[in-house]
A and B are shown apart, each in its own frame.
Chain A
Amino acid sequence: MSWILPPGASTFAGDIDFLYYVILVITGIAFVVVEVGLLVFAIKYRARPGRKAQYIEGSIKAEIIWTAVPAVTLVIIGLMSGGVWNHIKGRNSIPPNAIPYEVHVKQFEWNFTYRGPDGQLGTSDDFIVRNQLHIPVNRPVELQLIAEDVIHSFFVPAFRVKQDAVPGMDIRVWFEATKVGEYEIACAELCGLGHYRMRARVFVHSAEDYQQWLSDRAAAADEE
């Protein structure tokens, strides 16, 4: 059992993990205070013959303290979260140099559309790879999630990225991988009987390898 997050591999991981640990510590303190308090009270004030409870109806001071402390703490957590949220999902958060991809999401496949050699999406030299997303390291990428049937959710645990793909909505998600390697993509929203197997992989290449892969694939796609 572990409350440590698995290793992250994107630029979001640092911020999200930090917030997570901040909340973990704060809630951990609250948890210990309450549980230990309950235990101590349960033992210390257990019924014994000849004892009578103290008639206490409450305390305004105590009420103010335990209204204010959680309220202030929570608002601070809220404000800390707000900045990170805006950076990740905010309206204009997508970096201009992000590589665009189109992802056609259907029961139960991820079809990733890549720009062809012309560097433009939506042209005839685009090519599609099923269930494989190839991206370069240290470069933001932007995915346009196009759901074709029901709601799916694009989830890469290692990148701390999750975004629902909703039919009929223009949904874009971006991230920047920081480690070369191979990671799993999962569907996180119940989408039918094959939901559990709606798995794909993302391959993070070095810049050179990515170019190489891209030109190989484009050539192969051209042949067909």
Chain B
Amino acid sequence: MRRFWVTSCLFAFLGCGGGDGGSGGGGGAAETAPLGNASISGMVMFLGDAPANPAIDMSEEPECAAKHTDGPTNPIVSVTDGHLANVFVRVVGGLPGGPYPVPSEPATIDQNGCLYVPRVVGVMVGQTLAITNSDPLLHNIKAVPTENRLFNISQPRAGMTSNRIFTAPEIMVPFECSVHGWMNAYAGVVEHPYFAVSGADGSFTISGLPAGTYQVEAWHETLGTQSGDVTVEADGSATLTFTFGG
């Protein structure tokens, strides 16, 4: 479904077309304290032999190739000792209604060595996503979301930063770089702050939760989604493990 042009034009004319428009539920609630102090931490595991990640032909991008001494590969399934990274974990059920505080700190994603770092990033509706370029060459960031506004912007030089704000929750907004066909990243846009991305060691932590029973979902770009339930006490913590593959 294509956006209706009138809306876009009108919005632009009214001056609220900019990226700063509609910071959603977070607008007035930015200063509210977290709803609780409970946290969920856990681990994402990968069973069995991880599929090999494809090699990247960076021969025509010497500046990027120089940053990968051992031959660049595309970290689609990133497994270290059975721990799976780049899994987007978020609470999908059991939360009290908002508004939720929007972090004033921006989420960040960097383009370094012709790869997105991190490959998966979580951002709250209304929160700034800072996109930076550490490579001395052109990258463009093209996002064709379904719920949010499409954008396709460029960063021709190193050290540039562009800020984007998403206005609607969406799992996931795909990012790609048209200059380097292998460059993909995913941004999970959530209406609340209870999400995390598994690190290189497979671990994640969601904190600031009130007491309750929650349904949590884990998303991976090629391995699909899994979900689990967990209960935490006020100020307590609980653990949760997701297992992919095998």
Question: Which residue numbers of A lie inside 8 Å of B, CB to CB?
Answer: 106-109, 111, 129-132, 192-194, 197, 200-201, 224
Interface of B is mostly: loop
B54 at the interface (CB under 8 A from A): yes
Q: List 23 A-B contacts (CB under 8 A).
A: A106-B178, A106-B181, A107-B178, A107-B179, A108-B178, A109-B178, A109-B179, A109-B180, A111-B181, A130-B57, A130-B59, A192-B152, A193-B152, A193-B153, A194-B138, A194-B154, A194-B179, A197-B138, A197-B179, A200-B60, A201-B60, A224-B54, A224-B55
B140 at the interface (CB under 8 A from A): yes
Contact A194 B60 (CB under 8 A): no
Contact A131 B60 (CB under 8 A): yes
Contact A132 B154 (CB under 8 A): no
Which A residue's beta carbon lies closest to that of B181? A109
Which of B55, B140, B153, B178 has the most C-beta atoms of chain A within 10 angstroms of its own C-beta? B178
| A43 CB, min distance to chain B CBs, angstroms | 52
* A192 cross-chain contacts in B, Cβ below 8 A: 152, 178
| A70 CB, min distance to chain B CBs, angstroms | 46
Residue interface bits B124-157, CB-to-A below 8 A is 1, else 0: 0000000000000110100000000000111000
| Inter-chain pairs besides A109-B180, A194-B138, 19 sampled, C-beta below 8 Å | A106-B178, A106-B181, A107-B178, A108-B178, A109-B178, A109-B181, A130-B57, A130-B181, A131-B60, A132-B59, A132-B60, A192-B178, A193-B154, A194-B140, A194-B154, A197-B138, A197-B179, A201-B60, A224-B55
The 7 closest A-B pairs by CB, nearest first: A131-B60, A107-B178, A193-B154, A197-B138, A130-B57, A194-B179, A108-B179
* A194 CA to B181 CA, complexed, in Å: 12
* A18 CA to B138 CA, complexed, in Å: 38
Which B residue's beta carbon lies closest to that of A220? B55
| B68 CB, min distance to chain A CBs, angstroms | 15
* B57 cross-chain contacts in A, Cβ below 8 A: 129-130
